[in-house]
Amino acid sequence: MSHNLAAQFDGDLGAVLGSEADHETIAETFQRRTFRGREYFHFPDARHGIDRGVAIVGETVVPGFPSIPRTLVLDPGISGVFSGPIYIEEKLNGYNVRIARADGDLFAFTRSGYICPFTTHLVRTDPFEEFLAEFPELTICGELIGMNNPYTPHEYEDVDDVGIRVFDLRKNGTGTPLSPETRYERCAEYDLPEVPRFGTVDPAEAPERVATLIDDLNEREREGVMLKSADGETQLKYTTAATHQADLAHAFSQPFDYGREFLFSRLIREAFQAAERGESETERRERAQALGEAILLPAIEAVETVDAGERIGDEHTIRGDPTAIESLITQFLSQGLQLDIREDYYDDGDRVVTFCKVARSSQDKIEHYLAGGLIDQ
């Protein structure tokens, strides 16, 4: 076991895991990486009772972000989970990032615990610096949103480029969240940008309130809501039809890169939502039509794109500090991603790169079938 990792098992990490845990086995699952010459470790999957994405930088144990359960029905899904007041926040559609201070510097981590050079550069500014200088024992959890992000570009009218919206503050080591009330106060005090929120509601009133909010969010093509208990420990998610359909459209633009479970789960969400809303014959037909279009149209387009000799995949444009962008691209390549660079130039000291993360399975399979390869079904 590396010296730095061993020290952590005697420190914070050991306290979180308890004495029964098999430290040797757990240590072997941690991946050793370097970021600008600094060694760190991360836990890429949830295993051995450890959350996915836990990272260790020097003395700091950055907690992983837990997987949040979803309800398919508002009633009685919500009252089955919450017994006291419920804090309602908007669920934004972006990429989960955690920001923590270690050895005097700020680092931003991806879901699986890599240090992201692009996001790290973005957060080494106020108010994040100021906040974590004051509360070095906390990890800020937020969603990276906006069109110019390297992970999940989705348009938000109030974000021109890229931005972070905070939805959680957790203690390093244990990952215990602060209560929503405390988080709102601290974020306001330090001007940390937050996710939009919709106040509190009692469990009995929640289904109706959430249904109304979801109608409005759906109209605006937003993702959904996150419901939270007063201590921040219990969370529940529920999403809009617009999101289920957009997820399907995206998956079917790269049909062989997404598991069948991805398709099935979105269909099931739609079925339960339509049934709970008691949709009329016309409404359910409209939903069915939209769903069918979301699936088939992008899939046809994918076949045509490959047939025209082009690459399919997710296109992203990022702009920023040249060193940060260079190291992000190097990191993507070292993770085995195939990038098709479509534009690369400098603008006012920033480097601007448009690249496509090639959807390799879809690309290869579509080429194969277009050439007459037979399908065994």
Closer to ligand ATP by CB, 90 or 270: give it: 90
Closer to ligand ATP by CB, 249 or 353: give it: 249
To the nearest whole angstrom, how small is the minimum distance from the Cβ of residue 66 to ligand ATP?
7
Choose, by CB under 6 A, the member of 23, 42, 91, 222 that binds ligand ATP.
91
Reading the block at residue 267, the tokens are 């269909």
Q: Do 328 and 367 contact (CB within 8 A), yes or no?
A: no
Site for ligand ATP contains 247 (CB under 6 A): no
To the nearest whole angstrom, how small is the minimum distance from the Cβ of residue 265 to ligand ATP?
10
DSSP 3-state of 322 = helix
To the nearest whole angstrom, how small is the minimum distance from the Cβ of residue 90 to ligand ATP?
6
DSSP 3-state of 348 = coil
DSSP 3-state of 24 = helix
Residue 181 — φ and ψ, nearest 5°?
Answer: -55, -45
Site for ligand ATP contains 88 (CB under 6 A): no
DSSP annotation string for 72-115: S-STTTTTTT-SS-EEEEEE--SEEEEEEEETTEEEEE-TTSPB
Q: Do 35 and 115 contact (CB within 8 A), yes or no?
A: yes
To the nearest whole angstrom, how small is the minimum distance from the Cβ of residue 226 to ligand ATP?
4
How many other C-beta atoms are found inside a 10 Å radius of the C-beta of residue 77? 21
To the nearest whole angstrom, how small is the minimum distance from the Cβ of residue 188 to ligand ATP?
16
Site for ligand ATP contains 68 (CB under 6 A): yes
End-to-end CA distance of the chain: 48
> DSSP secondary-structure letter at 174?
T
Per-residue binder mask for ligand ATP (CB under 6 A), 134-173, x = binder? ---------x-----------------------x------
To the nearest whole angstrom, how small is the minimum distance from the Cβ of residue 189 to ligand ATP?
19
Choose, by CB under 6 A, the member of 16, 62, 86, 92 that binds ligand ATP.
92
Give the count of residues interacting with ligand ATP (CB under 6 A): 13
Residues that bind ligand ATP (CB under 6 A): 65, 67-68, 89-92, 96, 143, 167, 195, 226, 237
